[in-house]
Chain A
């Protein structure tokens, strides 16, 4: 019974290291869009503060002004997420921040 429970939790909660692709498309569609691009915030229909992340063209445009390629620590994107805890209503998971940092530090491919 315990083994079944552990197996189910392994599937539900995830147990492997984060091997998600650190690509522009993946971080845009799987990290930034669900977290930041709710309709009243950084979506194309609101474009809050001039940034939208709900499509790849919009995300590319936003990230070009928020990212310093190769330097996540100096990038405004990471600074805003960490210091101001964006998005503020549903905070971003540490694993997602790490994936964004890895993408930037790897040269922000696709940007």
Chain B
């Protein structure tokens, strides 16, 4: 029984790094430093996905090399009722899994479409996901998000939004890297989308997002529970914001309650943005037992020059407050180079320590290539 199947070993590095996959959410690094709300640059009130006209302009103005930021460089112009886009991300690098190993893998290949008018649109994100071992090849094609959206002011980033369909409930900071503890363990894991209805209001000085959701009854989903999420953020002047967050998800197996706060501060002179999130999590296993958890993350972002961002993040996750030493900390470093309005190169590295380094430690260093259609 101690004989490990060879295939198990050979897949080890790939499996590990597959967990590092991401989807191109918004870059909250630009909030407060360049604009006020996600909707200033994105069509979705959650951020991520298709860029609005201003988002394309920001991509063009901040990239190192100039060019058109439009879909396919403007070579194909869809009709006015249709907007198209997409993201492709691949990565290669090294992971410390007890010994250093190399790996290369795709992370995202998705297209976006927004169709409609007069405030009503159908938003669809479709693409590829990892195959199901032993399953149909068709499993790789899927739609991660599909929802109907009504927005009060189609020509303004501000106003009321109502969404119904499959999407990620807005909750806390929405950083692109899902391995951030407040994402992975804090109620916003990769592919954590669910079917729901959201009522969201975005203004220049505040925003509120309320979502009720149920788990996907058809596709195998990450979110297995039904519940609700709430996020409210008030901006204090042009360069600071405070937010509160709450989420509940319950299934027949486990009930999880999340509560937390966020903070953002932009120091204009130093071109330095700080974002922080702290969460308290309570999990109740229905068959018996419970756990109280803590998750926190602080990230500083410095715009080195146009097109170059430096991120340094520090994270903490206590898996169970009742057990001595059951926690982990990490330091993340990321260097983004937006070479053109369509291309981003990202060098990212993590060092992770369990119980202040007395447990097994982990880490990785990756280069990511991100192409936006």
Q: Is B359 an interface residue (CB 8 A)?
A: yes
- Supposing A20-B322, A23-B287, A25-B289 touch, asked if A45 and B191 sit within 8 A by C-beta, the answer is yes
A16–B289 touching, CB < 8 Å = no
Tell whether A84 pairs with B220 under 8 Å between CB atoms, given A13-B325, A89-B17: no
CB contacts under 8 Å to A, within B206-249, are 219-222, 224
Beyond A15-B324, A34-B185, A38-B190, whether A93 also contacts B4 by CB under 8 A is no
CA distance A94 to B83 in the complex (A): 50
- B289–A95 contact, CB under 8 A? no
Cross-chain contact B190 with A14 (CB below 8 angstroms): no
In whole Å, how far is B25's beta carbon from the nearest beta carbon of chain A? Answer: 15
How many Å from the CB of B57 to the closest CB on chain A?
Answer: 34
Q: Are B318 and A30 in contact (CB under 8 A)?
A: no
* Cα–Cα, bound, A86→B322 (Å): 24
B258 at interface, CB cutoff 8 A = no
Interface string of B132-154 (1 = CB under 8 A from A): 11110001000000000000000
A83 cross-chain contacts in B, Cβ below 8 A: 4
Q: Is the CB of A93 within 8 A of B294?
A: no
CB-CB under 8 A from A56, the residues of chain B are 253
- Interface residues in B, total, Cβ within 8 A: 68
Chain B residue at minimal CB-CB distance from A26: B289
Q: Does A6 contact B (CB under 8 A)?
A: no
Instruction: Say whether, besides A46-B130, A80-B4, A11 and B321 are in contact (CB < 8 Å).
Output: yes
Residues of A62-84 whose CB lies within 8 A of B = 68, 74-76, 79-80, 83-84
Question: Is there contact, CB below 8 Å, between A14 and B318?
Answer: yes
Residue of B nearest to A58 (CB): B220
Contact (Cβ within 8 A) A91 B362:
yes
Q: Which residues from chain B sit less than 8 Å from chain A, CB to CB?
A: 1-2, 4-5, 7-9, 11-13, 15-21, 95, 97-98, 129-135, 139, 179, 184-185, 189-191, 219-222, 224, 253-254, 283, 285-289, 291, 294, 318-328, 352, 354-355, 359-362, 364
Provide 5 A-B residue pairs closer than 8 Å at the C-beta atoms, listed in order of the A residue: A14-B320, A47-B135, A93-B325, A94-B355, A95-B326
